[in-house]
Amino acid sequence: MLNSIIDCTLFLAANLYNLLMVAIFLSRPAGLARLEHNLGLFAVTLAFPLLAGVVLNAGLGRDGWFILLPVPLVIYLFVEWLLDYFLKLTFRNTRLLWPYLMLYYLGLLGMIGYTFMADRFYGFVTLFTYFLNLFATWYSYSKTGHTTAPKK
């Protein structure tokens, strides 16, 4: 029972994150910087339920993949908060961009894997929202010429 609640929570967090990223990427070409900022700040708070799921899964002695797969997204969300919201660094035009993007996609793919392990339906929904996220990334790039937030 508790496993199902944890899995459902992480499924909801992963898909909410993907949908928030869709909204962020669509807000960029529209010039809605304040909305993008607020959506991003909300998105980083999803680290809390994800981290709670990791801790609970570890405490319950679940298979290692249930513990490991959400970790890259949790780390990414912390890094995102640290760089964009706490330190307010302009890092996207530096060498930090590639490790940052690798961690981002590793986190997203980890959650696809997690949701497929939890439930096949969860996995397909998460895969669908991931592809929406990719489409929104492409759209933002096609309209603005960049996929990351513009310099502040």
pLDDT in tens, the chain (152 residues): 999 999 999 999 999 999 999 999 999 999 999 999 999 999 999 999 999 999 999 999 999 999 999 999 999 999 999 999 999 999 888 999 999 999 999 999 999 999 999 999 999 999 999 999 999 999 999 998 765 555 44
Q: What is the pTM of this model?
A: 0.93
DSSP 143: H
DSSP letter for each residue of 61-75? T--HHHHHTTHHHHH
Q: Give the span between the Cα atoms of 40 and 84, in whole angstroms.
A: 9
29: number of Cβ within 10 Å: 14
Q: Give the span between the Cα atoms of 69 and 86, in whole angstroms.
A: 26
DSSP 146: -
